[in-house]
Amino acid sequence: MEMRPLGSTGLVVSVIGLGTVKLGRDQGVKYPGGTRIPTDDEARSLIKSAADLGITLIDTAPAYGTSEARLGAMLAGQRERWTIVTKVGEEFEGGVSRFDFSAAAVRASVERSLARLRTDRVECVLIHSDGVIENSPGFDETIDELEKLKARGLIRSFGASTKSVSGGLRSLDRCDVVMVTLNLAAKDDLQVIAEAKKRNKGVLIKKALASGHAAVGGAGAGAAGFGPDPVVASLRFAIGTPGVSSVIVGTTSPVHLAENCRDIGGE
Ligand code: NAP
């Protein structure tokens, strides 16, 4: 597995990371055909496969249902081998998202994430943007609190998962890491990635497979030229984009995970 620096955080991460929306949430998702939350045995098998493939990076969030708590249970005893990214600002309850980016909410959310993940620090916390906060004055208050949590040693680095080019670019001014969307049908954030590279910031990619639509030829995949092997084309495009640190692929399938690592020249 190829390893890359996460900007100037001092962290080094696997070029493929494991996204865990599907580990804990089956409502309000845009995957083709929906999703089914894996059983404990399936989840453990997924984590073991990821480790065997050399994946070191796991992305989770409070808004991913039981994802954080399940990871906390499964990573017990192997915490040191994982780089954990979680988020703040979004809660998902009863099928509805609620957002609170205030300093108090950020602090409480990180403390709860540490408890759920059964750890005393996480390597990265991202602002789980609703698309509005990243372009609002309140964004600075959220970042101020993340800086304090970093100074306290509860988080090693921080950043924002953004929804607009302006929000991504703004994040680079004060953040260590950005998480942006990049796939063959969604290239707007290439500007953000190029700027991040200039400033030596970490770049995590979400939705590299267009939330699975690339694999089934949907979401404009044909028009965007995903080609005959859209998963391979999509992964290679994202991983080959200069400035990208890691591509976070959301899967609950050990078979797909292994295929993805093989297709990019890993195990
Ligand atoms: P994605 O990685 O683009 O696509 C995931 C989908 O692709 C899953 O349905 C998966 O199904 C399928 N897939 C994966 N490998 C495959 C293969 N080899 N062949 C066929 N299908 C394959 O989408 P995503 O989950 O939306 O995004 C990735 C991660 O980014 C998330 O899990 C999350 O960690 C993060 N994210 C963050 C935000 C945010 O912060 N706002 C938003 C979205 C996502 P199987 O399970 O069947 O493999």
The pLDDT tens digits for 118-177 are 999 999 999 999 999 999 999 999 999 999 999 999 999 999 999 999 999 999 999 999
Give distance in angstroms: CA of 153 to centre of ligand 1.
Answer: 30
Q: For ligand 1, is residue 21 a contact (CB within 6 Å)?
A: yes
Give distance in angstroms: CA of 104 to centre of ligand 1.
Answer: 31
The pLDDT tens digits for 196-225 are 999 999 999 999 998 888 888 755 555 456
The pLDDT tens digits for 231-253 are 888 999 999 999 999 999 999 99
Rounded distance, CA 180 to CA 66, Å?
23
Rounded distance, CA 214 to CA 183, Å?
9
Give the global pTM.
0.94
Please give the number of the atom of ligand 1 that sits closest to the Cα of 22. 32
Rounded distance, CA 225 to CA 116, Å?
41
SS3 content of the chain, % helix, strand, coil (to 5): 40, 20, 40
- Alpha carbons within 13 angstroms on the beta-carbon side of residue 69 total 8
Nearest CA to ligand 1 atom 27: 207
Under DSSP, the state recorded for 186 is B
The pLDDT tens digits for 68-115 are 999 999 999 999 999 999 999 999 998 899 999 999 999 999 999 999
Nearest CA to ligand 1 atom 30: 206
Give distance in angstroms: CA of 224 to centre of ligand 1.
Answer: 18
Structural domains present in the chain: 3-263 (3.20.20.100)
162 touches 180 (CB < 8 A): yes
